[in-house]
Structure 1
């Protein structure tokens, strides 16, 4: 039979491509209708007051975003139409119904695969609940792939037998095997032979508690890739963050300064309140290094130009990002979860905040490739912050089977759910369940870290890289409060070991060598920048609070350090942990404002009250001094730990100096108002100077000043 001319082929394929595109767009229209019906994308949402600014910021970008989503559906429909046509013709049947049937089967196989890999993509569809539960318990990724492979082999065999194209089939099989082999070899050799430019890699794992490490009392099963790195690194076993919330913690990390000096005191701090100070990333950049920061979530932590990183890879910041959560276009998680999809719709595919749509392991592979590529082009500082342990907290395969018992309800196995942090909170986890889900999410972040480290090993850059591993804060499961066992875990609400103790480890180039495996001295997150600069031979930051830990890495003595710390701003009312605490910061959308560019930030009235509500403290490894503002306008200072002797007095004096308090007990005045470096004093709320009530263990305040709990 003579082959059809190209024009004839085009005439025969265009109708099928058009039908596939139309079917894809119809699927997009159906999902859009369901979204509109459920009251998102501006429907059934108040558009007055602060919401008006939100909708005004979102509306200009929404049409273009929806058009790009619709394009994915149209292309996916065309791809299925082509695949369905080829499979149908293998049997000698090129009719529309045969093509449609084949395309529908491929669609179902793809949905089957994604339901096993990322079940949160379908967990809010009641009709699929029973099937999804079975897949979560029993499904394996190879199941749909084996069915697909068998289906394709059967079609290929039928086509060869029907057309007798034995030689052509043999050549096609050999070509496919050759391409697969080249891909495997190329992946293994990627980057090898490239010049070994200096490389510094900073990896942050959000909310990682060091007690998950085997050497710190953990099982050793949660973070195997971190454990492997620690075999060649020095672990600081008593490292602490000055504030247990990501955005202010990273600002202190970058500038080597305490939060009250950076101006970033909570998440979504207004840019105008940030003190523009030199960062260690800026020092690397000015020394001619390539500087890259990447994160898979930017809702409550986004780095801008003030970070010092020249390249910043992160989802869009602000109102649009909060809208994206409502745009549950599931087919994006089926068709676009790959490099092309990430290039076309990065705000969806590379955004961890979108449960089920975001593929964390695919994201890590793309990021690992970027890391190797950047490192091959010159001296590079590459920082990555992994946020798997935050909301929506959706573990993917195989992590959702690791630690949470199969007897738990499906919705609690597949995603975090909010339960108020209040006495007797209902509807949440028991504490064991909450920690088990946390461990699964930490294991998922650990696997992402492993992907980056393995890429460095394959490229030959691991051994000579300086790698620093950290967490920005810990996580509290309210272990000291039985009445909060069902509440959502929290960080930033109290000053404590659970929330402020962090992971910190350093692998120098060529490995640990003679450096100690464990360092038990108290160190702080603000010490990271000075350490990296010294180890890289770059000038140190001036007039900062952090110090270089290089002497400890050499086995030398550094001298005792102290930590200044403060609470952040969370959904938790402080009096839940501290009866009598001042509770005046607003916890509603009214606290925020939307800038014309869509950025969400804290408003000025809320800012003042948040600072007024903060606990602040000092810690030297043996004792805490903590100041807690009380509802009656006083500040209750309490000491916990070994509070007798000169060391306790020395820490208290240092605490006062850091806060800017005068020896007379007042607060430093700047331009007629209380400086933000201490507790601010909004007009008409507290007296100035504040009365300070000082307590040690065993002492009791008067009736108006009850003993605080926690901290």
Structure 2
């Protein structure tokens, strides 16, 4: 059978591409209409006060954002159209309109693959729930890939039969083999050159409770990468604590080596004008000529600015539009743009942890590992990464959503965090579920974050940089599941609501460069404010100012005498009123949207009046490894001091706490 001339083929493929682009644009229009109809983005809803300010900022940004989203649909549709046209051409004897069902079939294969990897991308589509439930229980990534491979094989066989065996068939097979080889080569890990520049890697795993580690009583099944890190020569500080159990203020204290009241950042979304201009350990590295990079996959409640000291900051764009994006659930972005090009075109979506089902955490960490290696080749490097998988929307990807949550739980509980608020009076809110289910989902999310960390550590091992790198791994806070309040079983977990072991004890592990022998564990009390001084000391760089609250932990790593210092800690600000856990506590901080203001540049910040109330509402305390002393503001006025632990002699710790509070606003 003779074939058409090449120009005819090119014209046909171009027509199929244009047809696919049109279908992609139609899919975008359908999803947009659906979003507008549900009024999920403020359309058709009366907005007043802060909401009006929010929409005033977002409105001008939406056209450009939606145009870029539409571009993803058009380009993705065009690529599928070209593939569909090629398949139709290979089969021959059919008309080009068959490219439409072929396009739909290819789209279904793509959706099948993504539904297995990231089922939260489709969990709010009722018609797909039965199929999605089956895939969550039984699907495997090789299923759609096998189907695609069989389709390609059959299509090539048909095409080869049509053109008869000969040079063209051989060329097609060779081209297919070459494409496979190129894909394999593209996934190979890069190797570094001869020069070994100093390398410091700081990894934060959000909300990781240390009791998940085998060394501290855990099963050892939650975080194999962290377990391996500890087994390969790192020191675990078993009594490490954060001064505040919320991400943004905890990182600020970490960077500056100071207590929260000395940094000005005392809760999430603190106004930038309140952050005090202070030296940071990252700034010390930058001043010494190091390449300093901070990366995170979520910037809603933690965003580092220039005053952090990092010269390069890789994070989703911060601002009001970030809070809107979860309403713009454009599934085509998750289908077509979950890669490096998509991240460059739509940084608001693709590398944004806050978007359930769209963000690919493992692919993100692989791109981040490549960036880490590229930076390390060019000079001395400090590379910091904050993994946020354990935070809302809390959607585990394949294979982590099968790890710990029982298959008997409802599908919506297995695929995403559920907001079941804690309110005064003991109500756990509508839709609460078991504490066991909540903790199991938390463990799956930690396993997902651990996999991200593992990608970075594996990249360092495979390129020979692991042994000579200084690696510090920590968590910014823990998590509480209200174990001491049975009436709150299954309510939304919370951190920063009260001073407790579950919320304030954190993971801290240090692996120094090759040649420095360190103990496997240290049981002395240490604080997150000690991390910066320790890193600067190990890197041989100038210390932070003498008045910082943190101290270097190098003596502990060397087995030398060390006098531990107490921890100062204060509660943050959460959706939970403190009177839930402490009846009679002063509960005056506002918990509505009007507590925040929208700056002209779209950044969401706590307003001045709300700030004063949030600070007044805080519990403030001290911990010396044996006892907690906590000052709690009372509704009737005044402050009540309580003690937990060994309270036989609290005078020394009480005097220390009073001295710290005397300097606090």
Output the TM-score relative to the length of structure 2: 0.97
C-alpha separation between the residues in 2 aligned to 1:214 and 1:2? Answer: 65
- Quote the residue 1:657 is aligned against: 659
What's the counterpart of residue 341 of structure 2? Answer: 340
Give yes or no for the alignment of 1:568 onto 2:572: yes
Residue 312 of structure 2 corresponds to residue 311 of structure 1: yes
Compared CA separation, residues 549 and 86, structure 1 to 2 (3 A): same
Contact 2:88 2:96 in 1 (8 A): no
CA contact (8 A) 1:85 1:94 kept: no
**Match of residue 249 from structure 2:** 248
Does the aligned pair in 1 maintain the 2:163–2:169 contact within 8 Å? Answer: no
Partner of 1:118: 118
Distance 1:71 1:529 in 2: 44
Corresponding residue number in structure 2 for 1:500: 504
Whether 1:389 aligns to 2:390 is: yes
Deviation, 1:52, is: 1.2
Task: Determine if contact 2:585/2:634 at 8 Å carries over to the other structure.
Answer: yes
1:508-587 to 2 correspondences below 5 Å: 508-510=512-514, 514-542=517-545, 543-587=547-591
- 1:265 lines up with 2:288 in the alignment: no
Judging changes above 3 Å, is the alpha-carbon distance between structure 1 residues 11 and 141 closer, same or farther for their aligned structure 2 residues? closer
Matches within 5 A, 1:6-405: 6=7, 11-93=11-93, 95-178=95-178, 180-181=180-181, 184=184, 187-188=187-188, 190-231=190-231, 232-405=233-406
Contact 1:41/1:327, CA 8 A, preserved across alignment: yes
CA distance in 2 between partners of 1:494 and 1:166 (Å): 76
In the other structure, the counterpart of 1:688 is none
- Partners of 2:140 and 2:167 lie apart in 1 by 36
| Shift, 1:19, TM fit | 1.9
Matched residue SS, 1:60: helix
Q: C-alpha separation between the residues in 1 aligned to 2:22 and 2:180?
A: 34
Partner Cα separation in structure 1 for residue 610 and residue 660 of structure 2: 24
Measure, in 1, the Cα distance between the counterparts of 2:92 and 2:178: 29
Given that 2:207 and 2:390 are in contact with CA atoms closer than 8 Å, whether structure 1 keeps it comes out as yes
Q: Cα offset for 1:183?
A: 5.3
* Alpha-carbon contact 2:17-2:80 (below 8 Å) kept: no
Query: Comparing 566-575 with 453-462, which one deviates more in the overlay?
Result: 453-462
What is the distance in 2 between the residues matched to 1:226 and 1:164? 56
Structure 1 unmatched ranges of 5 or more? 661-667, 669-676, 679-711
Deviations 1:124-150 (A, max 9, x none): 111111111111111111111101100
Take 1:173 and 1:508, find their aligned partners in 2: how far apart are those partners? 51
**What is the Cα deviation at residue 184 of structure 1?**
4.1
Contact 1:581 1:631 in 2 (8 A): yes
State the secondary structure of the residue aligned to 2:60: coil
Q: In the alignment, what sits opposite 1:686?
A: none
3-state SS of the aligned residue for 2:549? coil
Aligned-partner Cα distance in 2 for 1:626–1:222? 32
Contact 1:192–1:458 (Cα < 8 Å) also in 2: no
What displacement does 1:486 show? 2.1
Contact 1:463-1:510 within 8 A present in 2 as well: yes
* SS at 1:348 equivalent: coil
Question: How far apart are 1:101 and its partner, in Å?
Answer: 1.7
Distance 1:104 1:84 in 2: 9
Alpha-carbon deviation of 1:173? Answer: 3.2
CA change 1:310–1:4 in 2 (3 A) is: same
The answer to whether structure 1 residue 594 and structure 2 residue 598 are counterparts is: yes
1:442-521 map, 5 Å = 442-510=446-514, 514-521=517-524
Match for 1:625 among 617, 621, 629?
Answer: 629
Relative to structure 1, the CA distance from residue 179 to residue 107 in structure 2 (aligned partners, 3 Å threshold; closer, same or farther) is closer
- 2:185 and 2:338 map into 1 onto residues whose CA distance is 24
Structure 2 unaligned residues grouped into runs of 5+: none
- Give, in whole Å, the separation in 2 of the partners of 1:379 and 1:558: 30
Tell me which residue corresponds to 2:419.
418
8 Å contact kept, 1:519–1:552:
yes
RMSD: 1.5
Q: Is the 8 A contact 1:191 1:376 kept in 2?
A: no
- Aligned positions, number: 659
Contact 1:257 1:546 in 2 (8 A): yes
Following superposition, the deviation at residue 44 of structure 1 comes to: 3.3
Deviation at 1:164? 1.5
CA distance in 2, matches of 1:324, 1:98: 36
**Per-residue displacement from partner, 1:456-514 (whole Å, max 9, x unpaired)?**
11222111111000000000001111111121100000101000000000011127x53
> Structure 2 CA distance, aligned partners of 1:335 and 1:72?
7
TM-score, scaled relative to structure 1? 0.91
Deviation (angstroms), 1:68: 0.5
Cα shift readout 1:52-109 (whole Å, capped 9, x = no counterpart): 1101111111111000011111111111111011111111145233211211111111
Would the aligned equivalents of 2:20 and 2:103 in 1 still touch at CA under 8 Å? no
CA drift of 1:47 comes to 2.2
Q: CA deviation at 1:45?
A: 3.0
User: Within 1, Cα distance between the matches of 2:200 and 2:75?
Assistant: 40
